[in-house]
Amino acid sequence: MSSVYCFVLCCVFIFSYNFTILQFYNSNIFFHKMILQTPYKRVIVLALDGVGRFFTEVHTPTLDTFFASGASSLQAKAIVPTDSAQNWGSILHGVLPEKHGLKNGDVEAGVPYDENSPYPSIYKLLADSSKDIKLASYVAWEAINTGIIELSVKADLYAPLTHESIFWRWWLRFKHNWLKDSVYDYTVISRLIDYIRNPENKDVELLFVHLTDVDEHGHGHGYGSQPYLNQIKIMDSQIATILETLEEVGWKDDSLIIMTTDHGGIGTRHGGNSDQEVNVFLAVNGAGIEPNSTIKSEVTNMDCAAIILKGLGKEIPEWFDAKLPVEFSSKSTDISTS
């Protein structure tokens, strides 16, 4: 009996020892701890419409360098339904679509977001927190400025189809609708570069930049098609222009830069829950984030809302569905370096 008793005690000891080690490992002690150096002077969001994870299929040196310079996840998910209004709405409001209620048809028809909604945008939250805060949104899809961000918010807004001349708007629509060769992004970036280089805008605290030509090529030629992939390569070079300009004016060192997308696509459509539509990415670059870091926790593109507020040193509302990834929390920093 004594030998059996000793055997049982040994098994209990081994199990307890291994369980303790597992708990120790999961407590993130073995991970390099990093904390976002908040508040950053500004947060810049590079919102790349309709990219999904298709950029991994082509040569994208700018995106590759951006990923390698900070923390990223290629396991992030979009919000379902995988439509633009629902996803950009969740990214900018921090809640799921059933709460913010945004839909493509409404925002494209010019229906403004409810000023009395219990789920305001982060723009409204920031504007209400400081009357002198400088905010900006430069977008290829004007519905973001007119239907997702509240009209009461004072911000520097730009969209090609609302701010360019009649002739240029006609040309943009002709290229898009008839030639299936959308060039909205070229105009956005041109105006954006002027904005960044203007010393009067150095104190902007949130700058949202939205590019759409990749998504338009997905609708026109098919997601994953050669014209679509070629447009991703063009987008990569356009992002290089943005990042080079940020470095030129000295913004890069004191900014938190977030890059994500709203959805992928299948055939010429999106809105469903297939892998091609739901699989997206999230990348974050800024002081305090170790290069080549992998975000291992489960994240969605909606979580950008929490990262933005954290990056600006603001409280994350309790009603947010968006969560700060544990990698960026002072309580738990599970970032593994590859």
Distance of alpha carbon 18 from alpha carbon 183, whole angstroms: 58
CA angle centred on 315, ends 312 and 318, rounded to 5°? 140
Q: Which residue has the higher pLDDT, 89 or 7?
A: 89
Distance of alpha carbon 155 from alpha carbon 158, whole angstroms: 10
Q: For 279-308, what is each residue's pLDDT tens digit?
A: 999 999 999 899 999 999 999 999 999 999
Query: What pTM does this model have?
Result: 0.88
User: From residue 159, how far is each of 151, 162, 184, 198 by CA, in Å?
Assistant: 14, 6, 9, 18
Q: For 83-99, what is each residue's pLDDT tens digit?
A: 999 999 999 999 999 99
Q: For 174-197, what is each residue's pLDDT tens digit?
A: 988 888 788 899 999 999 999 999
CA angle centred on 127, ends 126 and 132, rounded to 5°? 115
The confidence score (pLDDT) of residue 2 equals 54
Beta carbons of 277 and 264 less than 8 angstroms apart: yes
Q: For 10-23, what is each residue's pLDDT tens digit?
A: 444 444 444 433 34
Nearest to 218 by CA among 187, 184, 255, 263: 263
